[in-house]
Amino acid sequence: MNDVFPHSYFPHTQAQRAEMLAVVGVGSVDELFADIPERFRNPEFHLPPALTELELGRELGGLAKKNAVPGEYASFLGAGVYRHFIPSVVSAMISRGEFLTSYTPYQPEVSQGTLQATYEFQSLICELTGMEAANAGMYDGASAMAEAALMACRITDRDSVMVLDTVNPRYRAVLDTYLLPQGITINTVSLSDLVVDETTACILAQYPNFYGGIEALGDLADTAHQAGALLSVSANPVALGMFKAPGDYGADIVSGETQPLGVSMSFGGPFVGYFTCKNEYIRQMPGRIVGRTVDHEDRIGYVLTLQTREQHIRRERATSNICTSAALIATGTAVCIAALGPGGLRQMAELSYQKAHYAASVIGAVDGYEVIDDGTWFHEFVVKCPQSSKETTKKLLLRNIIGGLDVSDSVPNGMLFCATEMNTMTEIDALADALGQIAKGS
């Protein structure tokens, strides 16, 4: 036993602890924490006996097997996190030490590889969205939408936003967290009730929306711009493989979640959001931007062109305090897009579209089930079930099927189903057959 450091996780010796207490002006640790009620100082945790590493591995493995994992189960769950094909080159690239151990490049001269990867990510995202400028990445799609709303308020000097009720409810909850403490009014409205006036900073829409439908972005852009407001769109990047880009409709800010491209579902994270805008608004963009230039010998070099975080510039000029660009995950997305190419991305989108529409057709043919079809939609759709959505989900799990998301709060007995290129026709037919059996009480 090392007498100086009696435990490998306690770096301070008794002498050092005594010295620190003396500087603070107390005689003991108990005196230091005297202001904390005694019942909260050393609570009992009632932990089970310690296990060996081997025993612990077996226990955790057993717990993991209780999860219903897509692949082992046929999965039709989407609602913001999607199962798509990830080329093997993605893992191979981001597992390399140069990328895996890198962090935000504060010293550009020694971070050229990371900076180049980020630059490629930005360039690819701009191509997908039809926008002029992209940043190095955001926490996720939800916070990116919230940052877009804040940005629109700064640009227009207005303090009210209009968010369509077809936006993901979890995204709307994040909007509340970001905007309400800053005194910004959030108006959640249906498309038919949308009214934009001189107090509105922006319209917030999703493309495709939470229920899978495609909003008329051109009309939304016209409505916003006529009132001096902006249009901010949160777009699924896979859908952009076959649908017209939001930038082509006149969107001012386009953000979203890149998880569908090269990032595993991972039980909900970590992911990476993307953020783009028109060039005229670039100085109000949150996060960082990597640019490409040449040095005095005409060699290409990459630099942090813009950092609007308060740590780097005067606080009153900062736009956001986002502390990461999620560079490793963004690199994975860039590798995925490059590996797929335009044709591969289009094929992924078209297969998802076709399989989802096939699934809707066979489910709609099952007695008791009604597919809600409001026009053009991508790879998600809502089904009215003849019984409780929760009960349907439980019974599907017993048949090794992960069903859709319960949306009965907005559609009676409603389930939001999703299909991608990863779903086989056999799985889809089995889903329809299982739903038929469930409706019959079996």
Q: For 358-388, write each residue's pLDDT tens digit.
A: 999 999 999 999 999 888 999 999 999 999 9
pTM: 0.87
Q: Does position 232 have pLDDT exceeding 60, yes or no?
A: yes
- Domain identity same for 322 and 347: no
Q: What is the pLDDT of residues 270-289, one digit of tens each?
A: 999 999 999 999 999 998 89
Residue at 63 is within a domain: no
93 and 78 share one domain: no
SS3 350: helix
Q: What value does the mean pLDDT of the chain take? A: 92
**Residue 267 lies inside a defined structural domain of this protein:** yes
* Cα–Cα distance, 236 to 270 (Å, whole number): 17
Q: Is residue 37 part of a domain?
A: no
Same domain, 269 and 412: no
The secondary structure element, H or E, covering residue 221 is: helix 217-226
300 with 429, same domain: the answer is: no
Please tell me the distance from the alpha carbon of residue 197 to that of residue 228, in angstroms, as a whole number.
8
Are 267 and 391 part of one and the same domain?
Answer: no
Q: Is the pLDDT of residue 248 over 70?
A: yes
Q: What is the mean pLDDT of residues 193-220?
A: 97
Q: How far apart are CA 2 and CA 239, in angstroms?
A: 60
398 and 291 within one domain: no
- The pLDDT value recorded for residue 8 is 63
Taking the alpha carbons of 119, 121, 126, 127 in that order, is the dihedral positive or negative?
positive
Which of residues 288, 312, 337 is at a domain's end?
337
CATH number of the CATH domain containing 197? 3.40.640.10
Q: Which residues contact 155 (CB under 8 A, 6 or more apart)?
A: 201, 230, 281, 284
Q: Based on the structure, what is the number of domains in the chain?
A: 2
**Whether pLDDT at 328 is above 70:** yes
Predicted confidence at residue 293, as pLDDT, reads 92
Domain end, chosen from 293, 309, 337, is at 337
User: Domain of 162?
Assistant: 88-337
Residue 349 lies in a domain: yes
Q: Using CB atoms within 10 A of its CB, is residue 64 exposed (0-12), middle (13-18) or buried (19+)?
A: exposed
For the residues 101-109, what does the mean pLDDT come to?
A: 61
Tell which of 337, 367, 387 closes a domain. Answer: 337
Tell me, yes or no, whether 140 lies in a domain: yes
Measuring CA to CA, which residue among 376, 128, 136, 371 is closest to residue 251? 128
Q: Are 187 and 199 within 8 A, CB to CB?
A: no
pLDDT at residue 390 is higher than 50: yes
Mean pLDDT of 200-228: 97
Residues 358 and 268 in one domain: no
- Residues 222, 265: one domain? yes
Amino acid, res. 75: S
Indicate whether 138 and 205 sit together in one domain.
Answer: yes
Is residue 327 domain-shared with residue 420, that is, in the same domain? Answer: no
Convert the pLDDT of each residue in 115-133 to its tens digit.
899 999 999 999 999 999 9
